[in-house]
Amino acid sequence: MYRIGIDFGGTNIAVGIVNEHLEVLYKSSLPTKKDERSVDEIVADMATLCLKMVDKVGIGLSQVDAIGIASPGVVNSKTGVVEYYCGMNMNHYPMAAILSEKLGGYQPIYMENDANAAALGEVLAGAARGAKNALMITLGTGVGGGIVIDGKIYDGFNFAAAELGHTVIEKDGVPCGCGRRGCWEKYSSATGLIRMAKEEMEKCPDSAMWKLAPTLDEVNGLTPYEAAKAGDEAAKRVVAKYQDYLACGLANMVNIFQPEVLCIGGGVCGQGDNLLLPVNKQVMAEQYAKTSAKKTKLVIATLGNNAGIVGAAALGMR
Amino acid sequence: MYRIGIDFGGTNIAVGIVNEHLEVLYKSSLPTKKDERSVDEIVADMATLCLKMVDKVGIGLSQVDAIGIASPGVVNSKTGVVEYYCGMNMNHYPMAAILSEKLGGYQPIYMENDANAAALGEVLAGAARGAKNALMITLGTGVGGGIVIDGKIYDGFNFAAAELGHTVIEKDGVPCGCGRRGCWEKYSSATGLIRMAKEEMEKCPDSAMWKLAPTLDEVNGLTPYEAAKAGDEAAKRVVAKYQDYLACGLANMVNIFQPEVLCIGGGVCGQGDNLLLPVNKQVMAEQYAKTSAKKTKLVIATLGNNAGIVGAAALGMR
């Protein structure tokens, strides 16, 4: 059994072919070049990559059980239409149908929002494997969210649910691109971490963070963590503040969902236990069901960049 | 077809008998007197009220299809055990089994958390009727939450989900009984409204709120609304602030769930459109899926005090 998963992103289109265990056998990618060309051209590249994948395995497209596409934006999973994606000014774009056309009428092609697909990937073949109810939180440019309930993606009545990063945790706080102020993603994304590091560096000209990043433009998510490990007090404050906000938002999610597994991913999670242990301690101390024998397991995602491919490939599997 | 719903609260035990349309035919209640007696004695009162209900209708208990109990606390709906309710120091109390014993072995008896049962009641026979996915938010002493997904109560993997009021919306804000700071319920409960009114009254000795409540102990949820209607500026500020926080928390819930219906209940909702219209306007302006053709409908609960009875009676109906 083979399935193909397409992870369509603002930077790259990554396509992988998986076996019945959802193991990625081969994958390949092309730059999206979203500002230089039409979506139709981008979908043509998806088709090319799909054909490359079946060639690699040495089968025909007809031997692929299904193709799935994980796309940013609001995706109608019933119709395969990207209802809205501001990153490419996409409105009601019938991506699944266009890809099918470019693949000689191939069916079935499933579609899902990328964060939702990643959540499904982690549930089926990653850190949340076997969980009936799980949340996936991706700490990247923003804070992405995916909800799996009873083994199925939950996307609300209009396919736009699970915008977990756009929940205000600091009323009237930092302005967010969504128009609100104080959204969780302003504090717990990698972008939020970098902002906090820069703010602290400007206050502390002696901080060791300046040695790692001689200009503010060079600050990245590693800067405060590396400097904190080396004992820098300013960096320790940044890490503590970042993790405090992260735990706050995660405890909110536990109180709402009490999921079996709460899976966090994204570059910051490369810190491993250094991040996971203190955050988990705070989440458990803050969550409401303190006396419950069964508690949400906080874990770090294991599929990494493959989560979108695996989740997309798994769409419609049951 | 008859079913019985029991709404077990900290103040009263209300029991009602419903028909196949979930219409309450008769209901009766007794004070809980929770501080004066054992839970077993309270359950004996539930049994008495159940028998009174079947007498009223003129049937025998065997003609009742099911009994349901809505209870505060963490309720294991699979076993009918109240795992934890701090209000009565209840731990692993097998309420359904004890009630069954007191009713000569009557079966089936279902149990659910009260806020969850109320949500189900509104979905089956109230303001959210017909919605597949709905949230119910009760603005009372605290902010209670109930989640219905695909027509079923969602209570997480440990029956403790939907503590929607215990999501921090103001980091490091007002201390909450749960141990956190800045929980939504500290701002959007009736208690929160009263606190905001008192704070504003202390700042404004000329406020018309003092005419309605000559001492701070006399302030209730109506005080700021009545004074605002009469043109008092301080009271208008209280109402605006209260509704701003309420809309903030509701927009969070919309971004997470995109439910078909978001139902709000509790005494404050007696304000009707006076509260609903400005809050809805803000929620729609703040929510993420602004371009979506389908938007969550914000409504005021219609079952009132009967929501618990109706929801409890409906447990296990399908």
For residue B94, cis peptide bond before it (omega within 30 degrees of 0): no
Q: Is B155 on the interface with A (CB under 8 A)?
A: yes
Among A89, A143, A168, A187, pick the best mutation site for testing chain B contact (most B Cβ within 10 A): A168
> Picking from A34-38, B129-133, B190-194, which range would have the lowest pLDDT averaged per residue?
A34-38
Q: Which of A134, A184, A168 is nearest to A154 (CA)?
A: A134
Tally Cβ neighbours within 10 Å of residue A172: 12
The pLDDT, as a whole number, for residue B318 is 67
Is residue A142 left, alpha or beta, with left meaning phi > 0 and alpha meaning psi from -120 to 50?
A: beta
Q: Would you call B158 and A256 a contact, using CB atoms and an 8 Å cutoff?
A: no
What Å distances lie between residue A272 and A130, A209, A242, B112, CA to CA? 22, 21, 15, 38
Q: How confident is the model at residue A291 (pLDDT cuts 50, 70, 90)?
A: confident
- CA-based nearest distance B171→chain A, Å: 5
Whether residues A154 and B157 touch (CB distance < 8 A) is answered with no
Over residues B43-72, the mean pLDDT reads 97
CATH among 3.90.1150.10, 3.40.640.10, 3.40.50.300, 3.30.420.40 for A130-302: 3.30.420.40
CA-based Rg of chain A, rounded to a whole angstrom? 20
Task: Please name the amino acid found at residue B268.
Answer: V
Say whether pLDDT at A22 is over 80: yes
**Mean pLDDT, to the nearest integer, of B207-220?**
97
CB A314 within 8 A of CB A20: no
Enter the pTM of the model.
0.94
Residue A261 C-beta-side C-alpha neighbours within 13 Å: 25
Q: Which residues contact B4 (CB under 8 A, 6 or more apart)?
A: B15, B16, B17, B18, B50, B53, B54, B64, B66, B67, B68, B313
Would the CB atoms of B289 and A166 count as touching at under 8 Å?
A: no
CB atoms within 10 A of CB B32: 20
Residues of A in Cβ contact (< 8 Å) with B259: 156-157
DSSP structural state of residue B289? -
- As its CATH architecture, domain B2-121+306-314 has 2-Layer Sandwich (3.30)
The contacts found for A95-100 with CB under 8 angstroms, 24 or more apart, are A95/A8, A95/A39, A95/A43, A95/A69, A95/A71, A96/A69, A98/A39, A98/A40, A98/A43, A99/A6, A99/A43, A99/A46, A99/A47, A99/A50, A99/A67, A99/A69
Q: Could you report the per-residue pLDDT of A23-51, keeping only the tens digit for each? A: 999 999 999 998 899 999 999 999 999 99
Smallest CA–CA distance, residue A227 to chain B, in Å, is 26
User: Chain B within 8 Å of A285 (Cβ-Cβ)?
Assistant: yes
What is the residue type of A287? Q
Residue of B nearest to A257 (CA): B161
Predicted confidence at residue A24, as pLDDT, reads 97
Nearest CA distance, A137 vs chain B (angstrom): 12
Exposed/middle/buried for B177, CB within 10 Å: 0-12, 13-18, 19+? exposed
Which contacts (CB < 8 Å, 24+ apart) does range A273-277 have? A274/A225, A275/A243, A275/A246, A276/A300
State how far the Cα of A276 lies from the Cα of A264, in Å rounded to an integer: 9
> Nearest CA to B131 among B116, B144, B149?
B149
List the 112-131 stretch of A: residues with Cβ below 8 A of B.
Answer: 131
Tens of pLDDT, residues B220-266: 999 999 999 999 999 999 999 999 999 999 999 999 999 999 999 99
Closest to B134 in 3D by CA, of B263, B249, B256: B263
Q: Give the number of beta-carbon pairs within 8 Å between A and B.
A: 137
A84 and B252 within 8 Å at the Cβ level: the answer is no
The predicted pLDDT at position A18 comes to: 98
Question: For residue A167, which residues of chain B lie inside 8 Å, CB to CB?
Answer: 167, 252, 255-256
The model's pLDDT over B262-289, given as tens digits with 9 standing for 90+, comes to 999 998 999 999 999 999 999 999 999 8
**How wide is the angle at C-alpha B184 spanned by C-alphas B180 and B189, nearest 5°?**
115
Chain B contact present for A170, CB below 8 A = yes
pLDDT digit string (tens) for A141-200?
Answer: 899 999 999 999 999 999 999 999 999 999 999 999 999 999 999 999 999 999 999 999
Q: In which residue are the tokens 């909800």 written? A: A147
ipTM: 0.94
Class of the domain covering B131-302:
alpha beta
The minimum CA-CA distance between B248 and chain A, rounded to whole Å, is 7
pLDDT in tens, B94-104: 999 999 999 99
Residue ranges of domains in chain B: 2-121+306-314, 131-302
**Spatial contact of A168 and B169, defined as CB atoms under 8 Å apart:** yes
**Rounded distance between C-alpha atoms, residue B147 and residue B115, angstroms:** 9
CB distance B164–A255 less than 8 Å?
yes
**Mean of the pLDDT values across residues B312-317?**
95
Q: Which helix (H) or strand (E) segment is A84 a member of? A: strand A81-85
Helices (H) and strands (E) counted in chain B, each on its own, are 10, 13
Q: Nearest to residue B162, comparing CAs of A80, A270, A258?
A: A258
Residue B84 sits at the chain A interface (C-beta within 8 Å): yes
User: 230-259 in B: which are within 8 Å (CB) of A?
Assistant: 245, 248, 251-252, 255-259
Q: Chain B: give the shortest CA distance to residue A88, in Å.
A: 15
Answer whether B164's CB lies under 8 Å from A256's CB: yes
Nearest to A74 among B83, B159, B289 (CB): B289
Query: What is the C-alpha to C-alpha distance for residues B172 and A179, in angstroms, rounded to an integer?
Result: 23
> Is A209 in contact with A220 (CB distance < 8 Å)?
no
Nearest to A291 among B84, B155, B258 (CB): B84
Distances (CA, A) of B210 to A75, A244, B69, B190, B218: 53, 41, 42, 18, 9
Model confidence band, residue B132 (pLDDT cutoffs 50, 70, 90): very high
A155 touches chain B (CB under 8 A): yes
Kindly determine whether residue B164 and residue A245, on different chains, have CB atoms separated by under 8 Å.
Answer: no
Contact A133 B155 (CB under 8 A): no
Residue A175 makes CB contacts below 8 A (sequence gap 6+) with: A181, A186
B contacts of A245 (beta carbons < 8 Å): 171
The predicted-structure confidence for A219-267, as pLDDT tens digits, reads as follows 999 999 999 999 999 999 999 999 999 999 999 999 999 999 999 999 8
